[in-house]
Amino acid sequence: MVKKSNFKKDNIKKLNDFVASKFDDHDYESIEMEDLDINDEHVLTTNISLADQYHHQSSSKCGNNGSTSKNLAETFQKKINSVGDDNKICSNESFLEKIPKIAIVYDEYHSTHTSSLLGIESPENPQRLFEAYWYLKKNRVFEDKMIDLFNDFEKANEKDIMLVHSKTYLDFLKSYASKGGGFLGDSTYITESSYNVALKAVGGSIKAAELVIEGSYYSSFALVRPPGHHAGVDKYSGFCLLNNGAILARYLQKYHKYKKILILDWDAHSGNGTMDIFYQDPTVMTVSIHHDPRNYYPRTGFSDQLGDGKGKGYTLNIEMAKGAGDKDYQLVFNEIISHVLITYSPDFIICCCGFDGYYKEKNNKLNMTSEGYYEIGYWLKSNSSVPFVVLLEGGYHKYNGQLCHSFISGILGRKNPFIEKNIFSQYEKNMQKNIYIDTQKNLSKLKKLTSFGK
């Protein structure tokens, strides 16, 4: 335990102003991506480029269904036949045409959850969210007629939190926070204000969903922290205290009577907490796209972890090879996620968006670029015929604002505002072929293992 902090709410503005004053140091309005020496074959090869630029015209194509394995084809046949032309799933934009606006939910109260009050350093800190917000503000994103900012929302109440987490666990968090907090272990810390900040993050997630359900917005993005997808029923893990996405799923089931919810997670790390919570539950399907967990936190989330009991087949873990980038993720969405939407046919989609797959993430082993996140946004816009919300998870660098802008531009069907050129060496580009083959092998293995709930 550490000594109880004297940090007060009236200091939030001072902290925010300080961060804002330092913001120009990042020169966000004129970012220039540093190029690598393409003749240097000794550069780090963990960053591998996509072979070709993707454009939104091609992202609406569903991939080659002929490559689907026999048992997978049998699984999907009835559903596909009922749809008719299976490419229709890639061109359903009726929902977007009705209500094309996007809501962004953000509140500065998260700044009181900071490890600096404990005298320790953590990459999960207020600055990662401040920088995203100030980038979007300075680039006048909130002035866009198709984007509205909401910063007036309440904390979630404990009754709703206990739809997922145990009372014993919540009592532990409150007690620890009341004593001043400290480092809990497993990369996770708690301050005097952290419990309330976590409640606020859940509240922001609920607000984002309610805005979409009310009908004024096609989608919403909750810029909240701390992240949530590692937190379990009665455990903290990997910066996470409360599982924002899982609580939102139960909230939607209880108050809005959604029968089938899909949680789609593309953070670089497995959403192990979410997986554990719904492992035996067919009413919430969890899909996590993440780095091969054999030597990567949290070292779980393998493709053969498919759920248990009635939930067998409703957990899907998609392992990405080291160095996987935009092209590999496009393959996953076109060959796997498109079929999940057909076979599971969710009523609502909760997207857990991690920007830690970005190639500039410290200690990163994946190689997404702004174009990759743009393509995911456009893919969702082109494929989803049901409401979806996006919750921020990881991303521990100064480019979260840039990537968020690219992502929501994809949802709006606009051009990517940040095309990154000459990022990788020619040697790295050549290595992409091997990584793409590894991705194909992983997907082939996954198709043989699962019948996606059938």
The catalytic site residues sit at 230
Those residues with Cβ within 8 angstroms of residue 131's Cβ, 6 or more apart along the chain or in another chain: 19, 23, 26, 398, 400, 401
CA 349 and chain centroid, separation = 12
Those residues with Cβ within 8 angstroms of residue 72's Cβ, 6 or more apart along the chain or in another chain: 339, 447, 448, 451
d(Cα 102, Cα 94) in Å, to the nearest integer?
15
CA 204 and chain centroid, separation = 15
What's the distance, Cα to Cα, between the start and end of the chain in Å?
A: 49
- Contact 12/109 with Cβ under 8 angstroms? yes
- Which contiguous run of DSSP H or E holds residue 191? strand 188-191
Task: Please name every residue paired with 289 in a beta bridge, in sequence order, or none if there are none.
Answer: 318
What tokens were used for 321?
């090879």
- Contact 266/289 with Cβ under 8 angstroms? yes
Tell me how crowded residue 26 is: count the other CB atoms within 10 A of its CB: 14
- Contact 435/323 with Cβ under 8 angstroms? yes
Closest of 107, 106, 352 to residue 228, by C-alpha? 352
Cβ-count burial 383-406 (b if 16+ within 10 Å, e if not): bbebbbbbbbbbbbbbbbbbbbbb
Backbone dihedral region for residue 313 (phi beyond 0: left; psi -120 to 50: alpha; all else: beta): left
